[in-house]
Amino acid sequence: MVNHGYLSVKGKNYYFSSLSMNNKVDKKKLKKIVVRKEYKPRITVDEAKFKALKVAILHYDPITNELGTALAHHQVQLRSYCKENHFIALRNHYEDYPGVVVGELNLKVENTLRAATKNASTLILHSYAAEADISIIKSILALADDVEHVILLHQGFELEQIESKSFAKLESVVKKSNKSYTILRYLATYEQIYLRVAKYVKTASLFKFPFQEHKMGFIAEADIVDAVLRILEAPEQHYNKTYTLTGEMLTGEEVAQVMSKVLHTEIHFANVEPEDVSTFLNEFGINKNIMAYWLAAWKHPELLAIRSRSLKKLSGKKTWRLECWLELNSHYFAMAD
């Protein structure tokens, strides 16, 4: 199941959710609707240095798709791999970038696992810490002879204080791979949270989420892209380091106020009480490992309010403010149903 993606309608790209990716999926239809978002650089990079980079990405979701698009735009030598039916979506995603090599992983064949990282000095992973993903990552790292540097992106936050066996195991696999690593942790993205509630904002003028009384610092997918681009410019400076990425700190009431301003309609905030968080997240369609982590995290909401300046230091840019992001993506809310 792909939780979110983009739909092309009359030349414009729109957000969609819950696209079935089972074996009965219409591959021709999938090829038509899964499209690449236009990439607009926010930061300047050393183009000559980037052209010399050889990077492999395991694609599972829009975050790595957007990151791959950015790297392809900067003419990085990019090898991108995926699993099963995602192959068609991924191939279509890069159809305008002839320099990108797209492959499909056969998890039972060692040669395809080696091919995923052949000639790539950097491997970029984004994982929700599912047991199957961890197993795949462990196998690929064991066979990735050419890879020197692993960049891991994941949604675990304050793992030293919030119990999360799955994310701790994920980080452990990367750290024990005998390769240099850089880990980027984040709480959630605007796309993951706000686009999932778009239909409720439109139909009920309601933003409902378990903020409690604390502020949280969600970030945009583009913020993650900017951070990774900076790391790739000087990877040695970031070897064996872990960064926590946070953005604009807002309460639920403040989020509703920003939505009201941008969408030109009064949006009300409704908090989800602690005893109802599990039911809400299940209805929200959250990955089970993310849900388990969040349930643990909500027992210590003060930790979710911790602000880190790592993202600004990495990218050299201010993070996306929610108001600016909403202005750019307001059409998603207009067409939500």
Can you give the pLDDT at residue 8? Answer: 45
Can you give the pLDDT at residue 139? Answer: 92
pLDDT band at 101 (very low <50, low <70, confident <90, very high): very high
Residue 269 to residue 217: CA distance in whole angstroms: 17
- Poorest-confidence range of 94-98, 105-109, 331-335? 331-335
Q: What is the pTM of this model?
A: 0.88
Say whether pLDDT at 136 is over 90. Answer: no
pLDDT in tens, 141-183: 999 999 999 999 998 877 667 777 888 899 999 999 999 999 9
Q: Residue 319 carries which DSSP code?
A: P
Can you give the pLDDT at residue 100? Answer: 92
Instruction: Give me the mean pLDDT over the 198-208 stretch.
Output: 88
Residues 74, 50 contacting (CB under 8 angstroms): yes
Instruction: Give me the mean pLDDT over the 77-92 stretch.
Output: 81
pLDDT in tens, 36-67: 556 778 888 999 999 999 999 987 677 888 89
- Pair of tokens at residue 223: 């913020």
- Poorest-confidence range of 30-34, 47-51, 260-264? 30-34
pLDDT in tens, 263-275: 999 999 998 887 8
Find residue 244's DSSP bridge partners: 185
Domain at 2-189+219-245+307-316, CATH from 1.10.3370.10, 3.90.870.10, 3.40.50.720, 3.20.20.110: 3.40.50.720
Instruction: Give me the mean pLDDT over the 122-132 stretch.
Output: 88
Say whether pLDDT at 111 is over 60. Answer: yes
Mean pLDDT of the chain: 82
Residues 124, 57 contacting (CB under 8 angstroms): yes
* Other CB atoms within 10 A of residue 199 CB: 15
Closest by Cα among 127, 129, 79 to 104 = 79
| % of the chain surpassing 90 pLDDT | 40
Say whether pLDDT at 11 is over 90. Answer: no
Residue 294 to residue 314: CA distance in whole angstroms: 26
Which has more confidence, 305 or 27? 305
pLDDT band at 337 (very low <50, low <70, confident <90, very high): low
Residue 329 Cα distances to 34, 191, 202, 319, 334, angstroms: 18, 9, 14, 16, 9
What length is written for the chain? 337
Residues 271, 252 contacting (CB under 8 angstroms): yes
Say whether pLDDT at 22 is over 70. Answer: no
Say whether pLDDT at 188 is over 80. Answer: yes
